[in-house]
Structure 1
Amino acid sequence: MKNPETPFDQKRRSFLKLSGLLGLGVASAALLPAEKAEALFFGPKEYKVTETRLAMGTFVAMTAIHPSRDEAEQAIGLAFEEIDRLNAMLTHFEKSSAVGSFNAAGKIEHAPQEMLDLVARSLYFNQQTGGAFDITVKPLVDLYKDSFAKSHQPTEGEIDRTLKLVGSNNINFRSGSLQFAGSGMGITLDGIAKGYIVDKASAVLRANGVANHLINAGGDIRTSGLAAKGKAWTVAIQDPAKSKEYPDVITMKDGAIATSGNYEIYYDNEKMFHHIINGKTGHSPHLSSSVTVMAPTVMDADALATSIFVMEPAAGVQFINSQPEYECFVIGKDGEISKSKGWLG
């Protein structure tokens, strides 16, 4: 008797179908599961080596195009080691991490350079976006999570009290040390760290001779060089409604793209309380369903996708139009699509 098909098998079958549809170098802002590492031989000087692992709370898929299968697999292994190292440092879910220690103690002396770099970039985007990007929303995230774990929707009073603990201007940053201005504060780098880690993993691949590659970490995507047979990489934008159609499909060589959506993590069935939170109001924004940003780095694309989601779609597109290095593709709650002036799709 044939074993029943699991949801994982169904996702893998859908991914393989999409790969055949879009070409040899394909990624999606949706999840692309794979059961194990695989290598395809395209000729005397070209292997396509793909490996997918669970990391950073999602599936991370790496695809390398290289003359040597062994060298590609070794480079991919080193890149995954870098992901694990950085994730262990930057996660707020572990009290032993650098971020966890900072949140618990309210200060950290001689913080790791990677953490300092991320916090500095986060504070920059907080200023640039008028507060739309704010890593100090962790108390609100905790309020959402803890309340709904008890089948309780947060009240306006609870939200207002928690808002007093939010504000990036209350992070003191000097001489390699960080400190909160008051007790009860906390940071989450979830809106920027995954992109930063993908960038670092890409750098490991390049440093090990794998210039042609693609990394997809649950919608945070880095492309470098070319896909198999000299083609550009193909990226399909996920439809928040989960229909069979993709709102847009683009081709990329060297670039970065990230997507934020209210369909990713939410705490109530109505999706009124989800993982993206406006640090000014204490509520999750609802005018967008999905925001995709293209940028020179996945770190910037990650942070700006969150920022534009917090803004109204028109304001978000207007902001991106004022930034020469970035482009965006916004799907509103009603399905209406808005694009920046230079969007390639």
Structure 2
Amino acid sequence: MISRRRMISILGGVAALPLIGSTSFASVTNWRGIALGANANIILDHPHADMLIDKALAEVARLEKVFSLYQTDSQLSVLNRQGKLDNPAFELIDLLNLSGRIHRETNGAFDPTIQPLWALYAQKYSAGKAPNKREIEVARTNVGWADVSVSSNTVSFNKPGMALTFNGIAQGYIADKVAALLRQEGIQNVLVNTGEISALGMSPDGVPWPISLANDDRKLHLSNTSIATSAPGGTLFDQAGTVGHILDPRTGLPGGKWRNLSVIDKSAARADGLSTAFCLMDKAQIQSVPGAHELVFGEAV
């Protein structure tokens, strides 16, 4: 899954990174690779680390078969192509339900039905020009969370032309799932980074996992929690570097009240979805959203 952060232009590295330079234990395994189209790593200290990481990567591959926009046989691709999907995976229903809650909590700032608008912007800017007002308004008619019908047996759209993307939440969701799988294997201390981070237990140094925020001097220490960061300028549509990738579903226009913003939450999926929405909200609106999450505000636009 190529995330919308990577699809057009990458300005920097991932928004949050584990700091393990001080760790010198020979037994520590730090797997690095690509997952969901982004740089990823898994860090753990275990004699069977290679086997555990293989299981984790198999889980990533399984979930990509559900959520990928770019694998034509994924459940999401089938739904977007046909407008209906029978016998959806539990994970698809689970993430749709979570997305619905975040949509309500953020008064529509988070909306996975943004995909028709995002596809319009990507197509037009790839051809060297911006979409016009009429094109944006037409695409907006295919955006609306209320027109997604979800049951345990079927997911469908209530009108043609709709499509979903989970690029604003799937990285966090898969980090949660990989962390849960490793916990079921008896692992108490591991860091999973799939573009968003889930930190279980302690680092090999015996302290909470140290996390560095990109373009920020602050260092965080996390244990049994997750962090997600969004930055509208992390991916740009235009060559001039002025049109960021986070679109406001309520207006159809590029948004961004913050250059970057991080959310800490027990759930990496929830942190991911909230950080996406919060980029489009002012500080008072953000602070009115209920929940036990914590905020790390970056620079305002």
Is 1:306 matched with 2:276?
yes
Q: CA-to-partner distance for each residue in 1:102-139, whole Å, 9 max, x for gaps?
A: 00000111111111111111111111111011000000
Q: Residues 237 and 244 of structure 2 are in contact (CA less than 8 Å); yes or no, is this contact kept in structure 1?
A: yes
Give SS of 1:146's match: helix
Alpha-carbon separation, structure 2, partners of 1:295 and 1:270 = 35
Number of residue-to-residue matches in the alignment: 286
Aligned twin of 1:250: 220
Distance 1:78 1:225 in 2: 20
Match of 1:77 among 34, 51, 54: 54
When Rg is computed on C-alpha atoms for both structures, the one with the higher figure is 1
Alignment counterpart, residue 201 of structure 2, candidates 225, 239, 261: 225
Write the deviation string for residues 2-43 of structure 1: whole angstroms up to 9, x where unpaired: xxxxxxxxx9xxx99x644xx43xxxxxxxxxxxxxx942xx
Correspondence for 1:64: 44
Deviation of residue 94 (structure 1)?
2.2
Q: TM-score, normalised by structure 1?
A: 0.79
Residue pair 1:262, 1:271 contacting (<8 A) in 2 also: no
Aligned to 2:213: 237
Q: 1:97 aligns with which of 41, 64, 74?
A: 74
Select which of 231, 234, 254 maps to 1:284. Answer: 254
Q: Distance in 2 between matches of 1:231 and 1:74?
A: 25
Q: Does 1:294 align with 2:270?
A: no
Scaled by the length of structure 2, what TM-score is found?
0.90
Q: CA deviation at 1:95?
A: 2.2
Structural mapping, 1:3-152, within 5 Å: 19-20=20-21, 23-24=22-23, 40-41=25-26, 47-66=27-46, 68=47, 71-152=48-129
Which residue of the partner structure matches residue 294 of structure 2? 327
Measured in 1, the distance between the counterparts of 2:152 and 2:190 equals 37
2:136: which partner in 1? 159
Match of 1:214 in 2: 191
- Letter of the structure 2 residue corresponding to residue 226 of structure 1: M
Moved over 4 A (4+): none
Shift of 1:200: 0.8
Once the two structures are superposed, what CA deviation does each residue of 1:40-81 show, in whole Å capped at 9, x if it has no partner? 42xxxxx21110111101011000023x2xx12211111111
2:9 aligns to what?
A: none
Note the C-alpha offset of 1:315. 2.1
- Paired residues of 1:116 and 1:176 also in contact (CA < 8 A): no
Secondary structure in 2 matching 1:251 = strand
One-letter amino acid matched to 1:291: L
Structure 1 unpaired stretches of 5+:
1-10, 25-38, 42-46, 240-245, 335-345
Percent identity over paired residues: 27
CA contact (8 A) 1:273 1:283 kept: no
Which of 264, 287, 293 aligns to 2:234? It is 264
Q: Which among 162, 166, 170 is matched to residue 193 of structure 1?
A: 170
Contact 1:272/1:286 (CA < 8 Å) preserved in 2? no
Gaps of 5+ in 2: 1-12
In structure 2, what is the Cα distance between the partners aligned to 1:247 and 1:261? Answer: 16
Instruction: Check whether the contact 1:75–1:210 (CA below 8 A) recurs between aligned residues.
Output: no
Distance, in Å, in 2 between the alignment partners of 1:172 and 1:302 is 23
Superposed CA RMSD = 1.8
CA contact (8 A) 1:234 1:252 kept: yes
Higher relative contact order, structure no. (Cα contacts within 8 Å, ≥ 6 residues apart): 2
